[in-house]
Amino acid sequence: MTLIKSISGIRGTIGGHTGDTLNPLDIVKFTSAYATFIGKTKKANKIVVGRDARISGIMVSNVVCGTLMGMGFDVIDIGLATTPTTELAVRMSGADGGIIITASHNPRQWNALKLLNAEGEFLTAADGKEVLAIAEKEDFNYADVDHLGHYAQDNTFNDRHIKSVLALELVDVEAIKKAHFKVVVDSINSVGGVILPNLLDALGVEYTFLNGEPTGDFAHNPEPLEKNLSGIMGEVAKGGYDLGIVVDPDVDRLAFIQEDGKMYGEEYTLVSVADYILDHVKGATVSNLSSTRALRDVTEKHGCTYYASAVGEVNVTTKMKEVGAVIGGEGNGGVIYPESHYGRDALVGIALFLSSLAQKGIKASQLRQLYPNYYIAKNRIDLTADTDVDAILVKVKEQYGQEPGVTVTDIDGVKLDFPDKWVHLRKSNTEPIIRVYSEAATMADADALGKKLMDVVYSMQ
């Protein structure tokens, strides 16, 4: 069983001993620390709580809400809600922050608390570290009986989220309606099955849902990768559909299936949406260092500038704000569109992608052919607990830093950019491993590059 504490929140498996799992005592401790942190700058004295459909969600939510009330905060419980819905609810309600109860793409036995600031955005690294430090001290000041927080449910934010998506200037509702799209959606037994039917109804899209009941008992591994999506790929391959749509349990990641039943490519969700945005508005784009080079290629095709950030959504949004990016995100299917909000949002991604298809009048497979083909290989190097990972990465940087034609980036591990490929090595924050991601024009070349760098690291131990 596992409990992982990080700057973005706390996550773990349900059941087991305190300190080792995500259990009521540790949930109280961490929620109290977050409330203490928010209490330093609070204005509205209220915090939003939303959850995905995980089996443990009600238990965790009850503990979180009760603890926040015990800390003197009013709670706005929005119930079953996507991560982007919760983010928007914080802004829309003028709350001081929010807690999203979701373990994203992790399996059913996991859950987590993800922490938001008053902007409805994830805490910065510095703020996250402060919450962790407060939790370790366990010096909490709970409210007396006359100053306990109040509890209220508000189920309006799904509709408000959808309306905000439809109001985006580049969401072409009329073109989508005229296209008469027919789609299949795999919402993996979570909150996508609650909100996406309403979005698709509003867009005039005919749909069939797989795993649509929000039971939290996931029908397959919930990470939206090809190896987990044989069901929807097979359904689309039967014919009669324009697109397959796949989301993860909290609906911040988005993948598509082409009309022929083949994967569109999770990395190309952001690439395609960015291309559509840049057709209409010129500006910078951002993705993290481990995302496909295709976004850079598409951005430069439009005469614009691409920027890379460290891995992690908060790092992407920070860079986006810094350079004034018009679109950004992560290669895992995360689309961040500032015209909506600074958070990955599958609803926004769906609406913009369908707008692109409708305006161009082409099939998903034809759209995919417009973009360069790259393949990413993902490997890992297992190390002993006492291995000096930082020293190894410094040696890699020194070894390749002087090679002609190689660009070295060290804002997050070490990334080596060659003219026709790249490899990114970064240490895990939770286990003694180095993640090795590499990209090239073929999967064989990508894997060979990754394995080459792995051999280099092994030789340094």
**What are the catalytic residues?**
104
On whether the CB atoms of residues 85 and 49 are closer than 8 A, the answer is no
**What is the spatial order of strands in the sheet that 243-247 belongs to?**
206-210, 182-186, 243-247, 254-257
Beta carbons of 144 and 76 less than 8 angstroms apart = no
Whole-angstrom distance, CA of residue 148 vs CA of residue 133: 25
**DSSP conformation class of 263:** B
From residue 358, how far is each of 175, 339, 423 by CA, in Å? Answer: 6, 21, 36
**Which ranges constitute the DSSP H helices of 281-345?**
294-301, 313-323
Residues contacting residue 31 through CB under 8 Å, at least 6 positions apart: 63, 64, 67, 68, 71, 99, 113
Instruction: Tell me the two tokens of residue 148.
Output: 């306990």
Question: Residue 299: phi, psi to the nearest 5?
Answer: -60, -45
Whether residue 224 contacts residue 105, with contact meaning beta carbons closer than 8 Å, is answered with yes
Please answer whether residues 345 and 337 qualify as being in contact, where contact means their C-beta atoms are separated by less than 8 angstroms: yes
The dihedrals phi and psi of 105, each to the nearest 5 degrees, come to -90, 5
* CA–CA gap between residue 287 and residue 109 (Å, rounded): 30
